[in-house]
Amino acid sequence: MSFRFILLFIAVVAMGTEEIEILPMMDDTTVITHDDEAEWTAVVNKTKKLDDISTLDIAKERRKQRKELKEKKKEEVLNPPEKVDTKMDTITVKGAVLQGQVSELTAEHIEFNLIYGAGTITINYEDIDQLTTEHHYHIFYRGQETTGKIVGIKEHAFLVIKHGDIEETIKIANIDRFLISTRENDSLENYLRNLAPYTRGNLDIGLEYESGSNVKHKVKVAGHIERKMMQHRSIFDFNYAFETTQTVGTPDQLNKNEYTLFYEQDYYLSEGDFIFGQGGYDFDEPRGIKGRAYPSFGAGHRFGTEKDTWLQVKVGGGYVNERFFNYSSNDYIAGFLGIGTSYQVKELFLVKGMILKADIFYMPSVTDLYNNWLARLQASAELPIGSTMSLKWIARSVNDNNPSPEIGNNKLTMDLYLSIVF
């Protein structure tokens, strides 16, 4: 026994001032492990069974765990973990209690993100028994606004909002915009949405450069801005395209230099009925259009109140004034018929949230339908990429009484854009 102690003492002295740990092993075996190295030294005095877990195995595993713990603590110091949102909204649906966060609130339903997995569920108000939130929301309604927590729902049609010691009841149908408050989410995106709550839109950008036997420069920019507040809706659209092609030995050829401006103002008399006034302006140098203005007015009806699923019809009258580069000007009084629709594909195979839209209007002359008319058709498919970007395919068809026989009356373009949504 004294001889073994002397050997162990000599081994400790030989390692100098290194930090060591001495663990007794079964079967009268001693293991020495280094704290900063994956090494071990064992002195075996008795034969051990090979089919048993030895104290040596336990010592090695403990050493590995201590090393992993040190590395984890070091990583947490260098890269602190992100702050986790522990607040929870609770909704009771037909007796079932669900937890998560309210993501959207419309006149017909609520969209709710569950904590149990990815994805959003849509719940009709008639199925909701109770709704409370720990998050604070910014709610805009009938030109007013309030910030607070939802503490209840009444008669499937009213929200009870509490801020401080004050409670107020808001009719859900009067809510224009429902947003998470900036105290909960201080990102620039959320700040801008709270700053301009009644405005939505997108900016579409398409660029192309080709170099080879031909040198092509192509730029396309389009935008849409829509503002809805109480009975008023304002819409502004613009499109611009420029394209040149240069073949070896020839000068630049202008293929496109065009822009379109459009503005519409709607006033809602009821939930679906509205009157409108709108105006458009075209410039298209390759097609010989120096300027075309086409204001119109009338009445319409929108079927459906969801943001991305609806159908509307407009009828009325208007006026068309045309100026051409190489032909005389033209103008006429016209009728107006317009149809627009939007549909959100919530789930189709691997596609979720795709938005399909189409809009067409026709303005025929009231005195000479055969020789004077104006028609526009636009169809689009938009695939969201996150909350602020999307891929967008747009097809535009122009049909009008262009006087140039070389150019003709029809023009069809199809484009793919990267769209920035706000």
Domain count, the chain: 3
* Neighbouring residues of 208: CB distance < 8 A, sequence distance ≥ 6: 216, 217, 218, 219
Q: Summarize pLDDT for 134-152 with one digit per residue, the tens.
A: 999 999 887 788 999 999 9
Cα 77 to Cα 387: distance, rounded to the nearest angstrom: 32
Q: Summarize pLDDT for 264-282 with one digit per residue, the tens.
A: 999 999 878 999 999 999 9
Higher-confidence position of 209 and 247: 247
End-to-end CA distance of the chain: 81
Tokens of 178: 């429902």
Same structural domain, 288 and 410? yes
Is residue 31 assigned to a domain? yes
Residue 387 scores a pLDDT above 70 = no
Q: Could you tell me which residues are beta bridge partners of residue 139?
A: 146, 178
The band of 120, judged by pLDDT with boundaries at 50, 70 and 90, is confident
Is residue 81 assigned to a domain? no
Is residue 82 assigned to a domain? no
Same structural domain, 206 and 246? yes
Same structural domain, 180 and 240? no
Residue 367 scores a pLDDT above 70 = yes
Is residue 346 assigned to a domain? yes
Cα 402 to Cα 374: distance, rounded to the nearest angstrom: 10
Same structural domain, 221 and 97? no
Question: Which of 75, 106, 122 is the last residue in one of the domains?
Answer: 75
Predicted TM-score of the model (pTM): 0.65
Closest CA to 149 of 230, 88, 107: 88
Is residue 240 assigned to a domain? yes
Question: Which of 15, 40, 75 is the last residue in one of the domains?
Answer: 75
Q: Summarize pLDDT for 41-93 with one digit per residue, the tens.
A: 554 444 445 456 677 777 778 888 888 888 877 777 676 665 556 789 999 99
Question: Which of 75, 108, 133 is the last residue in one of the domains?
Answer: 75
CATH number of the structural domain spanning residue 407 = 2.40.230.20
CA distances from 13 to 17, 19, 121 (A): 8, 12, 69
Structural domain containing residue 125 = 89-195
Same structural domain, 252 and 351? yes
Is residue 84 assigned to a domain? no
What rounded mean pLDDT belongs to the chain? 82
Closest CA to 222 of 249, 241, 196: 241
Same structural domain, 161 and 138? yes
Of 54-58, 201-205, 381-385, the range with the lowest mean pLDDT is 54-58
Same structural domain, 358 and 253? yes
Q: Could you tell me which residues are beta bridge partners of residue 256?
A: 243
* Neighbouring residues of 374: CB distance < 8 A, sequence distance ≥ 6: 292, 294, 320, 334, 362, 363, 364, 399, 400, 401
For residue 57, the surrounding DSSP H or E stretch is helix 55-78
